[in-house]
Amino acid sequence: MEAVYLRTCTYGRIEDSFLHLGSAESACSEDIFKFLVQTLNTLNVEESVRNKLVGFSADGASNMQGLNKGVAALLKQRWPSIVMTHCLVHHLELSFKDAVKKASPGLYEKATTLLLGLYYLFRKSPKEKKGLLRTFEALGERQLLPTRIGGTRWLPHYMKAITIFLKTYKVVRYHLENSSHKNAKAE
DSSP string, 66-112: -TTTSHHHHHHHHSTTPEEEE-HHHHHHHHHHHHHHHHSTTHHHHHH
Is residue 36 within 8 A of residue 20, CB to CB? The reply is no
Is residue 84 within 8 A of residue 54, CB to CB? The reply is no
How many residues make up the chain in this entry? Answer: 187
User: So what's the pLDDT on residue 180?
Assistant: 64
Q: Sign of the CA dihedral 64, 2, 148, 89?
A: positive
Q: What pLDDT digit, counting tens, does each position of 4-62 carry?
A: 888 888 899 999 889 999 999 998 999 999 999 999 999 998 888 878 888 888 887 88
User: So what's the pLDDT on residue 25?
Assistant: 92
pLDDT at 88 over 90: no
Residue 182 confidence class, pLDDT cut points 50, 70, 90:
low
- CA–CA distance, 70 with 60 (Å, rounded to integer): 10
pTM: 0.60
pLDDT at 187 over 80: no
